[in-house]
Structures are given as C-alpha cells and as structure tokens.
Amino acid sequence: MSTDVCALHDIPDGGGFEAAPSVLLLRRGAQAWAYRNVCPHFSIPLNYEPGAFWTYEGALLMCAHHSAMFRFEDGVCVDGPCLGASLRRIPIRVEHGRVVIEDADLT
Ligand code: FES
C-alpha cells in the first residue's frame, strides 16, 4: 500500500522534514529521500528538537547528538562515530509534486 505523505515543497530544499512519526524526508531540488529517523550510533532520533534537522550544503544530514554526518542520497555515514553505517531507507516516489511512500509500515 502506498501513502501520500506531503508535497515535495513541504520539505525544505537542502533540509529535512518529519513526515510521519519516525519517518525523515530529505530533499535537494526535485530529488527526495526517506529514512527511518533513527541514528545507527545509539538507535535514537537524529534530531533533538521536534521537526528540526541539521543539514550541511544540501548534501549531508548531521545527527544532533554526536554529529555523525549522513549522505542524503544513500544514508551512509561519512563522518562521525558510526562511520560506514547507514540509515534505514524507506522507498518513496515523487508523483505530481507529491511524495508517496511505497509499501511502508509507518507505525
Ligand atoms: S546518536 Fe547519532 S551520532 Fe550518536
């Protein structure tokens, strides 16, 4: 089952957006990615304040706890305490300006 979660433009360009509990969306221009909002370092949310995600140059997401840096496009940690670990990807598609999560259990 697919779930329409938001408009592409609800996600800040170069930033992050919490679309559903524990679902993080990232966007750069017309591209978007979705991940579980769980840092592989300590298995806790990547943000500290609700809905606030730290990003760098529209390319990297930084965990608010110990500064691990994850690439938008594949969720791989490229710097920090969990180097080489990955965020858990959620398959999405962008359709008519809407972000649709495919086959997701959003609980
Ligand atoms: S919990 Fe994310 S870097 Fe430590």
**Residue 43 alpha carbon, nearest atom of ligand 1:** 1
Structure tokens at 68: 């691990």
- One CATH from 2.102.10.10, 2.40.50.140, 1.20.120.1200, 3.40.50.1110 for 2-102: 2.102.10.10
pLDDT digits (tens, 9 = 90+) for 8-43: 999 999 999 998 889 999 999 999 999 999 999 999
| Site residues for ligand 1, CB cut-off 6 Å | 39, 41-42, 44, 63, 65-66, 68, 80-81
**Quick one: pLDDT band at residue 100, thresholds 50, 70, 90?**
very high
Domain range list for the chain: 2-102
Residue ranges of E strands in the chain: 2-7, 16-20, 23-28, 31-36, 54-56, 60-62, 69-71, 77-79, 89-90, 92-95, 98-102
pLDDT digits (tens, 9 = 90+) for 42-89: 999 999 999 899 999 999 999 999 999 999 999 999 999 999 999 999
- Give CA 59 to chain center in angstroms: 11
Best substitution site from 63, 70, 77, 78 to test ligand 1's pocket, by max atoms within 8 Å of Cβ?
Answer: 63
pLDDT at 106 over 80: no
pLDDT at 107 over 70: no
Q: Contact 69/78 with Cβ under 8 angstroms? A: yes
Query: For 106, left (φ over 0), alpha (ψ -120 to 50), or beta?
Result: alpha
